[in-house]
Amino acid sequence: MKPYKNTSFAFLLLMLLAAPMVGHGQVALRAKHFNLDNGLAIEGYDPVAYFTTGKATEGKKQISFTVEGVTYRFANEGNKSAFAKDPKKYEPQYGGWCAYAMGATKEKVNIDPETFKIVNGKLHLYYNSWGNNTLVKWNAKEATWSPAADRNWTLIYK
């Protein structure tokens, strides 16, 4: 019986030591691939507000939450609390890069946080500058761009 206990203890110890490395790897992966400004996502806009108000709303610096190395700001404590309970529900798709560009060209293109769409319960952000609103292009061929963007992001995010 002793060898079994020692083996179990060794396995448990190995798992406890490896856990922080797995978390650190995820933080590094997100830092490498997400659209961040010194760790800040969506240029400081509140990810929950897109869903609750249907509007792009700037978050407050003093109301923030960091998940796996990515910091989000919120307009109020209620939004922060909702996000903390289920970050994956509110985080933007494709690391916060332009959904259209991810589908059309497999490129990480910056976004205008005020140009967005909720697609199948997920936040999509788009580039919109100098008369080039990629949300319009996305809407014209969403059935094509959406699966392409999903596929391309899985190729990039590894």
15-29: per-residue pLDDT in tens?
444 444 445 789 999
pLDDT of res. 23? 59
- CB 42 within 8 Å of CB 79: no
- DSSP single-letter state for residue 62: E
Global pTM value: 0.85
Q: Which residues pair with 116 in a beta bridge?
A: 125
Q: Which residues pair with 37 in a beta bridge?
A: 40
- Residues present in the chain in total: 158
d(CA 116, CA 100): 11
- CB 153 within 8 Å of CB 93: yes
pLDDT of res. 7? 47
pLDDT of res. 45? 98
d(CA 100, CA 125): 8
Average pLDDT for 58-62: 98
Please list the alpha-helical segments (H only) found in 1-141.
2-33, 47-52, 77-85, 87-90, 99-104, 134-140
Whether pLDDT at 3 is above 80: no
20's CB contacts (< 8 A; 6+ apart) are none
- CB 43 within 8 Å of CB 113: yes
Instruction: Report the largest interatomic distance among the alpha carbons of the chain, rounded to a whole angstrom.
Output: 73
Whether pLDDT at 9 is above 60: no
Whether pLDDT at 143 is above 60: yes
Average pLDDT for 118-146: 97
Whether pLDDT at 136 is above 60: yes
**Residue 128, SS3 per DSSP:** strand
**Residue 92, SS3 per DSSP:** coil
